[in-house]
């Protein structure tokens, strides 16, 4: 089969590789019908994730058709259409049982990490993929939900909702600022209303993304290139600051922006993937009673979000801006990596 293979920082290729095989009774082999590229894949290619070794097939998002199942698999069968969760959950270790499958302790995730696809084992940017713990890592896809909509539930929508909205403790009437209008930041904006946010302020340098943000849930847009960006945000909160500030870029500067926007007693939720240290001004922040959260998505909300998508309650289809055949994987990467010029949000890659 063909797959996108990582060959070290800055190096990747669309290669011929062996087909995946069942290794454990709880495995399934999936024909990948649709996949996409995540900002985390770009971090891997920059060398920010050293656990990814040369020869690894990248990708942790996908929708596909079940080709084979192990003898212990009960909830999916050959021929089923499924969403592949970006987090693999054994369902029995201490972390899975306490609602944190992102730190699953199963054998292949012995480092205490549920994100193994495209990281510690081969991933979904391929014609086929082996999925461990199929019963608890695959979600049956109902009729009427397209592959394009479903693939966005593998990672970005659960990430935005869980690590942004839930960890940020958004509540009815809140003003929420989201720094970064990339796919995950936009997912925060699209789901903040589920918990009753009254105002959602999108902050970004790209006017096109700010306009798109207003289409999918933001009530206001602020260009962070403006000298008075902070004053613009404070003006929307009577000068007090926002209730919840959500970082969705992964840079020290954008994290600091959030700490400068949040009101005393508010919450800062870090969603972005950081490759370098960020400054935490404790000498300024400690007296403001601010809570700071961060984390890796658990995808425990995937089933709930899928129900909303099936009933047309979330604007997921709008996130798909470019479409490619799998044979054009390298072109898809080039387009996604040059999003500033191409306008790419999520590239959809299909058989």
Question: What does the radius of gyration of the chain's CA atoms come to, in whole angstroms?
Answer: 20
> What would the 3-class secondary structure string for 19-73 be?
CCCCCCCCCEEEEEEEEECCHHHHHHHCCCCCCCCCCCECCCCEEEEEEEECCCC
Cβ atoms of residues 232 and 202 within 8 Å: no
SS3 209: helix
Beta strands in 205-290 (DSSP E): 220-223, 242-247, 262-270
**Alpha-carbon 89 to chain mean position:** 17
**The predicted structure's pLDDT at residue 275:** 81
Q: Which CATH number is correct for 160-294, 1.20.140.90, 3.40.50.2300, 1.10.150.20, 3.40.50.720? A: 3.40.50.720
- Alpha carbons within 13 angstroms on the beta-carbon side of residue 12 total 28
Name the residue ranges covered by the structural domains of the chain: 2-155+298-350, 160-294
Residues of the chain with pLDDT under 70: 107-111
Q: How many other C-beta atoms are found inside a 10 Å radius of the C-beta of residue 121?
A: 18
Q: Name, in order, each residue with C-beta under 8 angstroms of 154's C-beta and a sequence gap of 6 or more.
A: 36, 60, 61, 62, 63, 83, 84, 85, 86, 124, 299, 302
Answer whether 2-155+298-350 and 160-294 agree in fold: no
> What is residue 263's three-state secondary structure?
strand
Contact 204, 211 (CB under 8 A): no
Dist CA 316 CA 216 (whole Å): 9
Q: Tell me if 233 sits within 8 A of 219, measured CB to CB.
A: no
Q: Tell me whether residue 251 is exposed, middle or buried, using C-beta atoms within 10 angstroms of its C-beta: 0 to 12, 13 to 18, 19 or more.
A: middle
DSSP three-state, residue 158: helix
Distance from the Cα of residue 302 to its chain's centroid: 11
Q: How far apart are CA 324 and CA 335, in angstroms?
A: 10
- Using DSSP, state whether 204 is helix, strand or coil: strand
The helix/strand/coil state of 187 is helix
pLDDT tens for each residue of 140-186? 999 999 999 999 999 999 999 999 999 999 999 999 999 999 999 99
Region of residue 2 (phi > 0: left; psi between -120 and 50: alpha; otherwise: beta): beta
Return the CATH number of the domain spanning residue range 2-155+298-350.
Answer: 3.90.180.10
Looking at residue 271, its pLDDT comes to: 97
- Distance of alpha carbon 166 from alpha carbon 332, whole angstroms: 32
pLDDT value at residue 113:
87
């Amino acid at each position: 089969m063909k797959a996108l293979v990582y060959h070290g920082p800055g190096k990747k290729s669309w290669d011929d590789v062996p087909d995946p095989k069942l290794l454990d009774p709880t495995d399934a082999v999936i024909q990948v019908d649709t996949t996409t590229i995540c900002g985390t894949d770009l971090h891997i290619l920059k060398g920010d994730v050293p656990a990814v070794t040369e020869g690894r097939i990248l990708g942790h998002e996908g929708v596909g058709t079940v080709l084979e199942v192990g003898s212990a698999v009960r909830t999916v069968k050959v021929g089923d259409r499924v969403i592949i969760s970006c987090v693999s959950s054994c369902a029995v270790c201490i972390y899975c049982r306490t609602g944190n499958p992102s730190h699953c302790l199963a054998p292949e995730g012995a480092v205490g990490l549920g994100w193994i696809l495209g990281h510690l084992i081969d991933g979904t940017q391929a014609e086929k993929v082996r999925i461990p713990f199929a019963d608890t890592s695959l979600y049956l896809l109902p009729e009427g939900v397209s592959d394009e909509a479903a693939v966005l539930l593998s990672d970005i929508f659960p990430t935005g909702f869980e690590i942004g909205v839930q960890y940020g403790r958004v509540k009815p009437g809140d003003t929420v600022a989201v720094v970064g209008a990339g796919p995950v930041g936009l997912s925060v904006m699209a789901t903040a209303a589920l918990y009753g946010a009254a105002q959602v302020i999108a902050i970004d340098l790209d006017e096109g993304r700010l306009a798109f943000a207003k289409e999918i849930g933001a009530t206001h847009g602020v260009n962070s290139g403006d000298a008075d960006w902070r004053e613009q945000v404070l003006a929307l909160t009577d000068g007090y600051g926002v209730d919840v500030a959500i970082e969705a870029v992964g840079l020290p500067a954008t994290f600091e922006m959030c700490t400068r926007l949040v009101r005393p007693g508010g919450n800062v939720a870090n969603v972005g993937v950081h490759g370098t240290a960020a400054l935490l001004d404790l000498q300024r922040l400690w007296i403001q009673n601010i809570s700071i959260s961060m984390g890796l998505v658990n995808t425990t909300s995937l089933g709930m979000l899928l129900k909303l998508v099936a009933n047309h309650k979330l604007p997921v289809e709008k996130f798909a801006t470019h479409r490619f055949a799998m044979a054009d994987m390298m072109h898809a990467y080039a387009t996604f990596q040059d999003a500033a010029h191409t306008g790419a949000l999520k590239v959809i890659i299909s058989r």
